[in-house]
Structure 1
């Protein structure tokens, strides 16, 4: 889940629970308020039920809260778009996008913010080419065919292509949660933001592919 910093309009990938993180685009103050509320909802869920909230349950809850903001006279809709990713113990990796109106939907790959549609078109084309061109027929199997490194490089390629820019390590932030075999067992299944030296390795790998 890479993000490109935009002055006053973006916030870095953030952890909500040990296995769920998010990235948002829009007004920073609203994004910070949304993250605080999401963490509160996740903590309340764990206190009430005794286990961590799942990504789909958190996305549904935050979407319901967003919808309330659109119908109360003393409130205004939050000026943000939120992408939640996390690890579900039963279904594995999950990704959801929420909008200020309270609509949320799951994706295999998605984008938000400036040039959102161009990025999503790029990801869709890449996905269709997976599994020898059969990615559109079975999107789930196509996603499982990707290694952790390939997923990260695909995301970097999407953001670099639509912005027509070769980014430096300090200009791109990458949040990741996975069960890949090539990661540290201590962080496996945990949400984390990559340090710059790790981001640099993926940027170099993408550059060398060109």
Structure 2
């Protein structure tokens, strides 16, 4: 979420409610593209109604769909939503998007393991912001990485990386340079 904190809380609460209602009604988890479309429709209504203040928040949705694989969608306050290979939000979003576009040109997605994808994200931030990060300055979350307990397989849930895992990625980037 990027934007107003109060609007973000309301939007997250609404998204959770929509997903819970979908699961109750249909018996399976709501696909990411369906949730993105629903949130975009809600935002669009807030934009058009004169007596409602538009939501001031851009939402990024990430999921690991068993049918379609990894999905990334972004909804803006006007009610527009679109799927991406990679995206950015915030003050320097356009510079980050340009960097990612150069790196991912003519590719279906960011190739490699989850470690390489995280390193691409860190490199994007570092280049755009012109900052060398330390492990305590970043928060990174992944979907579809290794299981947190170390067992075999892929974890379909969202999890935040520990400072040690972030430090490993920062060391790998430093070794490449």
Same fold by TM-score, threshold 0.5 exceeded? yes
Match of 2:158 among 173, 179, 191: 191
Distance 1:74 1:201 in 2: 51
Count of residue pairs the alignment pairs up: 176
Match of 1:201 among 159, 168, 172: 168
Distance 1:68 1:104 in 2: 14
State the Cα RMSD in Å. Answer: 2.0
| Gapped regions of structure 1 (runs ≥ 5) | 1-23, 129-135
Give, in angstroms, the shift of residue 117 of structure 1. 0.7
Match of 1:61 among 38, 45, 50: 38
Please list the CA deviations of residues 79-99 of structure 1 after superposition, one character each: whole Å capped at 9, or x if unmatched: 111111101110000001110
Q: Is the 8 A contact 2:15 2:39 kept in 1?
A: yes
Distance 1:161 1:113 in 2: 15
Distance 2:85 2:44 in 1: 24
- Scaled by the length of structure 1, what TM-score is found? 0.77
Q: Within 5 Å, which residues of 2 pair with 1:1-210?
A: 24-128=1-105, 136=106, 139-140=107-108, 143=109, 145-178=111-144, 184-185=151-152, 188-210=155-177
Structure of higher RCO (CA pairs closer than 8 Å, 6+ residues apart) = 1
In structure 2, the CA distance between the partners of 1:28 and 1:185, relative to structure 1 (3 Å rule), is farther
| Gapped regions of structure 2 (runs ≥ 5) | none
Please list the CA deviations of residues 120-143 of structure 1 after superposition, one character each: whole Å capped at 9, or x if unmatched: 110011112xxxxxxx1xx32xx2
Distance 2:152 2:2 in 1: 31
Q: Is the 8 A contact 1:46 1:53 kept in 2?
A: yes
3-state DSSP of counterpart to 1:51: coil
Give, in angstroms, the shift of residue 158 of structure 1. 0.4
Q: Is the 8 A contact 1:147 1:180 kept in 2?
A: no
Distance 1:102 1:202 in 2: 36
